[in-house]
């Protein structure tokens, strides 16, 4: 029985239940494996990723070289590397460079290329938009119209040839935004359009999604300035934008989630799946926990668009070994701040942040059963 069939069967049980409730479905919906690790001992978070010429592309991002942390004098470093994986059983190749070292933008696969939107580095955020295509063993870069303003840690999707992007922050030290823009990739003269602002709390690190022609935003982080100190508020509210109609609020997440691999996985006739994410439980204790931080959430949540309800449908493959504190790269964590890519029927989560200040080079692959 396919994932779609199993989830559709559960829809009938969910429709009459409270949309706020968290329902647990015990099903082995995915088989998990790993592809060849990204060829960097530390790995990267905040990369751009997508598919071109039937090859998986991962580019840019950040890490703390040498397995360092901010509390061990580690320096966050930004990269312009582009890596290509041509097939499931092959090895990664490092080919070409981004226009500059950068990360934490939005990336979408379109027209056999990867459109990279915004992002930043240690000093600046950017409004740049460009596409990467893997052609004849090289990366070709095409410059596209810049967004109306710089943005980092936003979320976005492409729906019917139109890119939608919302949230994020406009400067490295700025506050969260609720801007909402779109770009029609089929227009003869491509030009960004400013849409109705996002109606909930401004946010960054939300998870985007699309289903049946609508754009979804799940959770994220709202920044609050209190007594000149920036505080993070982890969000569980969710929203749907009906194209040409406007925003409506939908069922809240079972708990707050931020920085989950984005976009959500569109599964079947009625479900969007969110893999893991930072629930914010230990967000205020990072300086205290340091390398004792347990990592982030590993639940797989399903939003059913018919029942307007959330369910827990499984877990990601976490394997923390006895030496995980000192050798985190030897363990498997549920990563955050990394894109989710669909490639040849598989769900790909390449790299990301394993725990605060620790990246991963592992490429997790979920194969629908």
DSSP string computed for 252-308? PPSS--BS-SBSPEEETTTEEEEEEEB-STTGGGHHHHGGG----EEEEEEEETTTT
Name the residue ranges covered by the structural domains of the chain: 3-368
Distance, CA of 39 to CA of 44 (rounded, Å) = 10
Distance, CA of 297 to CA of 285 (rounded, Å) = 16
pLDDT tens digits for the chain (369 residues)?
Answer: 555 545 544 444 343 433 343 444 445 789 999 999 999 999 999 999 999 999 999 999 999 999 999 999 999 999 999 999 999 999 999 999 999 999 999 999 999 999 999 999 999 999 999 999 999 999 999 999 999 999 999 999 999 999 999 999 999 999 999 999 999 999 999 999 999 999 999 999 999 999 999 999 999 999 999 988 999 999 999 999 998 899 999 999 999 999 999 999 999 889 999 999 999 999 999 999 999 999 999 999 999 999 999 999 999 999 999 999 999 999 999 999 999 999 999 999 999 999 999 999 999 999 999
Instruction: Confirm if 4 and 10 have CB atoms less than 8 A apart.
Output: no
Instruction: Confirm if 81 and 65 have CB atoms less than 8 A apart.
Output: no
Distance, CA of 283 to CA of 108 (rounded, Å) = 29
Distance, CA of 167 to CA of 227 (rounded, Å) = 24
Distance, CA of 209 to CA of 63 (rounded, Å) = 27
Residue of 328, 230, 313 lying closest to 274 (CA atoms): 313
Place of tokens 């200040």: 357
Place of tokens 């960004």: 192
Does residue 263 have a cis peptide bond before it, meaning omega lies within 30 degrees of 0? yes
- Residue 363, CB half-sphere, CA atoms under 13 Å: how many? 27
Give the H or E element holding residue 353.
strand 353-355
Hey, what CATH class is 3-368 in? mainly beta
Distance, CA of 94 to CA of 302 (rounded, Å) = 35
Helices (runs of H) and strands (runs of E) counted in the chain: 2, 27
């Amino acid at each position: 029985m396919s994932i779609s069939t199993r989830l559709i069967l559960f829809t009938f049980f969910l429709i009459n239940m409270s949309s706020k409730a968290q329902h647990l479905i015990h099903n082995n919906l995915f088989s998990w494996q790993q592809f060849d690790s990204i060829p960097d001992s530390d790995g990267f978070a905040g990369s751009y990723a997508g598919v071109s010429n039937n090859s998986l592309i991962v580019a840019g991002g950040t890490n703390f070289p040498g397995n360092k942390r901010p509390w061990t004098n580690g320096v966050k470093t930004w990269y312009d590397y582009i890596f290509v994986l041509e097939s499931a059983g092959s090895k990664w190749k490092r080919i070409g460079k981004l226009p500059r070292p950068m990360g934490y933008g939005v990336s979408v696969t379109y027209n056999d290329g990867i459109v990279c939107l915004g992002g930043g580095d240690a000093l600046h955020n950017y409004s740049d938009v460009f596409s990467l295509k893997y052609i004849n063993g090289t990366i070709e870069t095409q410059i596209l119209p810049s967004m109306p303003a710089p943005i980092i840690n936003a979320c976005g999707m492409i729906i019917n040839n139109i890119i939608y992007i919302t949230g994020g922050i406009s400067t490295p030290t700025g506050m969260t935004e609720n801007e909402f823009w779109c770009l029609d990739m089929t227009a003869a003269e491509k030009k960004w359009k400013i849409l109705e602002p996002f109606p909930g709390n401004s946010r960054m690190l939300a998870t985007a999604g699309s289903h049946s022609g609508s754009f979804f935003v799940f959770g994220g982080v709202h920044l609050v300035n209190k007594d000149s100190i920036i505080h993070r508020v982890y969000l569980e509210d969710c929203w749907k934008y009906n194209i040409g109609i406007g925003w409506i609020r939908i069922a809240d997440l079972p708990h707050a989630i931020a920085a989950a691999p984005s976009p959500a996985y569109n599964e079947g006739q009625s479900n969007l799946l969110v893999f893991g994410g930072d629930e914010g439980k230990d967000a205020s204790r990072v300086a205290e926990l340091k390398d004792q931080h347990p990592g982030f959430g590993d639940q797989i949540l399903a939003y059913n668009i018919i029942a307007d309800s959330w369910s827990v449908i499984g877990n990601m493959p976490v394997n923390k070994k006895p030496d995980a504190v000192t050798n985190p790269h030897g363990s498997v964590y549920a990563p955050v701040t990394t894109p989710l890519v669909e490639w040849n029927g598989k769900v790909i989560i390449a790299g990301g942040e394993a725990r605060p200040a620790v990246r991963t080079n592992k490429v997790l692959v979920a194969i629908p059963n």
